[in-house]
Structure 1
Amino acid sequence: MSDAVRPTLAASAAVFRDGRVLLARRGAHPGAGLWSLPGGRVEPGETLAEAARREVWEEVRVEADILALATALDVIIRDRDGVLKAHFVVAAHAALWRAGEPQTGPEAAEVGWFAPADVAALATTSGLAPVVDAAARLLACRAGATPTSA
């Protein structure tokens, strides 16, 4: 393991609108070309929810109401020889769309709204489908509905 690599705290949000989740195809590394949730590093003095809200706005220009932490995910990146290159601890939130139409930019080469059941068939960052499922279940429980498999 490389002594220079330390875990980086990040936050993301599964933003739902009319039963669909907002995804962005990453325009930069890590994960360039893969679909993912908008998210990024937590800045000093920010709460996890504040960071998630800010990252959604910065990446795709959507305002979201962050409702709850859905799950945490370790993103560990190694080179072909197994040398650790990066380690992100991502606090993924469940959120609802408030305003704005998603836009592309340097970090989001493409954006779209997807049915949660369709996420597993996409080329995504590692572990995305279970994160979306956890967020969808959390929102269904908060709404008083019986959660179903996405």
Structure 2
Amino acid sequence: MRGDRVLVVRRANPPMPGRWGFPGGVLELGETVAQGAMRELFEETGVEAEAADPLTVIDTIDRDGEGRVRYHYTLVAVIGRWLSGEGVADDDADELAWLTRAEIVERELPTAPALLPLLDLALARKE
């Protein structure tokens, strides 16, 4: 977070290509959740941030038309307090932007289902 703005990326790859969400990725062996979140943020955007406590845990399960699970991710959301960098989209993202919650809603961006609920939690914790 940087003031009242958050960094969001438009995903280039599955799952949910074309949808806006928060940068993220996979933990490496031996990393804490906070270390992995800040590493992924930097790798995907060039932005450096300091990790706050984990915000929440979310299970994301996607099923095909017949109900079979296509993927199941357990996401640990971590708030990052901006330190430096404006951000540049890498190959995982088509675009990135620093936006307020109001701007995300006003622009009617196609978002990942968890984006606004996570943002609301983060904003409530910030107060």
Q: TM-score, normalised by structure 2?
A: 0.92
Percent of residue pairs bearing the same amino acid type: 37
Is the contact made by 1:56 and 1:63 (CA closer than 8 Å) also made in structure 2?
Answer: yes
Residue of structure 1 in register with 2:116 after alignment: 129
**SS of corresponding position for 1:76:** strand
AA in 1 matched with 2:15: P
Which secondary structure does the structure 1 equivalent of 2:25 belong to?
Answer: strand
- CA 1:95/1:139 → structure 2, altered by over 3 Å: closer, same or farther? farther
Matched, 1:26 2:26: no
SS at the partner of 2:86? Answer: coil
Partner of 1:111: 96
> 1:45-124 alignment to 2 at 5 Å?
45-120=30-105, 121-124=108-111
Name the larger-Rg structure.
Answer: 1
Unpaired runs of at least 5, structure 1 = 1-15, 141-150
Q: Deviations over 1:3-57 (max 9, x none)?
A: xxxxxxxxxxxxx112101100001111111000000111211110011001101
Q: Partner of 1:95: helix, strand, or coil?
A: strand
Which residue type is aligned with residue 138 of structure 1?
R
Superposed displacement of residue 81, structure 1: 1.5
So what's the TM-score if we normalise by structure 1? 0.79
Backbone CA RMSD of aligned residues: 1.2
Partners of 1:97 and 1:80 in 2: how far apart?
Answer: 40
In 2: Cα distance, 1:137 partner to 1:76 partner: 26
SS of aligned partner of 1:137: helix
Q: Which runs of 5+ in 2 are unaligned?
A: none
When structure 1 is superposed on structure 2, of 76-85 and 29-38 the one drifting more is 76-85
